[in-house]
Amino acid sequence: MPKSYLNDADREGLTQNGIYAAESQAAGDAGDEEAAWEWLKLVKIPAHALLAAKRRNGGDWIRSKGLRTETAEQAYGKDWLDRDV
- Say if residue 39 is exposed, middle or buried (CB neighbours under 10 Å; 0-12, 13-18, 19+): buried
Helix (H, G, I), strand (E, B) or coil at 30: coil
Taking residue 65's Cβ as centre, other Cβ atoms within 10 Å add up to 12
Q: Among 7, 11, 32, which residue's Cα sits nearest to residue 21?
A: 11
- Please write the tens of the pLDDT for every residue from 13-25: 999 999 999 999 9
Residue-level pLDDT, tens digit, the chain, 85 residues: 999 999 999 999 999 999 999 999 999 999 999 999 999 999 999 999 999 999 999 999 999 999 999 999 999 999 999 999 9
Q: Angle 33-40/16-29 helices, nearest 10 degrees?
A: 160
For residue 26, the number of C-alpha atoms closer than 13 Å in the C-beta half-sphere is: 15
